[in-house]
Amino acid sequence: MQNPASAGYHDQTKAKFVPSTRIPVPVPTLIYKIFQIEAAHRLPNAPPGHKCARLHGHSFRIEIRLRGEPDPVTGWLMDFADLARTFAPVFEALDHRYLNEVPGLENPTSERLAEWIWQRLRPQLPVLDEVLVAETCTAGARYRGH
């Protein structure tokens, strides 16, 4: 069994510890909401002749995951409607856009898109755990912050 301290749990904002040890364990509640955007892009740094260097589009599936302790009264980590409202400016900036023209996405790989979304959501979502971006049904990227 992998030691939780080496599994990336040491950076949890509200870490709990295994009784009588100082080994942190993950906060157990994870919620997520899925959004979909339609957008075009090209990857200007792809090798010459690579198909992704040409203009093309995707139906990007974006999953926002939050981790933390649910409120003892409501039982929610966060109201999904509040999460949708928080995501709305990101959606507006990306949906039906040419991603290369969005500031900070001049080379809009899935990896960079996931990080770009994280950077815009994290200030409003301290319980943000990860951002997943899928450009196809079988390929995508995950970003979990620094």
- The residues assigned a catalytic role are 52, 96, 135
Predicted pLDDT at 12: 41
Residue 31 is assigned to a structural domain of this protein: yes
pTM of the complete model: 0.81
Predicted pLDDT at 6: 38
Residue 79 is assigned to a structural domain of this protein: yes
* 3-state SS class at 4: helix
Q: What is the pLDDT of residues 100-122, one digit of tens each?
A: 999 999 999 999 999 999 999 99
Helices (H), the chain: 80-94, 110-121
Q: Residue 100 belongs to what domain range?
A: 26-143
Residue 110 is assigned to a structural domain of this protein: yes
- CATH code for position 100: 3.30.479.10
Q: What Cα–Cα distance (Å) separates residue 138 from each residue in 56, 60, 66, 128?
A: 17, 12, 23, 24
Question: From CA 102, how far away is CA 69, in angstroms rounded?
Answer: 35
**How many domains does the structure of the chain reveal?**
1
Predicted pLDDT at 19: 56
Predicted pLDDT at 24: 62
Residue 7 is assigned to a structural domain of this protein: no
Residue 70 is assigned to a structural domain of this protein: yes
Q: What is the 3-state secondary structure (H, E, C) of 30-80?
A: EEEEEEEEEEEECCCCCCCCCHHHCCEEEEEEEEEEEEECCCCCCCCCCCH
Model confidence at 134: pLDDT above 70: yes
Question: 52, 53, 39, 49: which is closest to 101 by C-alpha?
Answer: 39
Residue 12 is assigned to a structural domain of this protein: no
Residue 18 is assigned to a structural domain of this protein: no
Residue 2 is assigned to a structural domain of this protein: no
Q: What is the pLDDT of residues 10-68, one digit of tens each?
A: 344 455 544 556 666 566 899 999 999 999 999 999 999 999 999 999 999 999 999 99
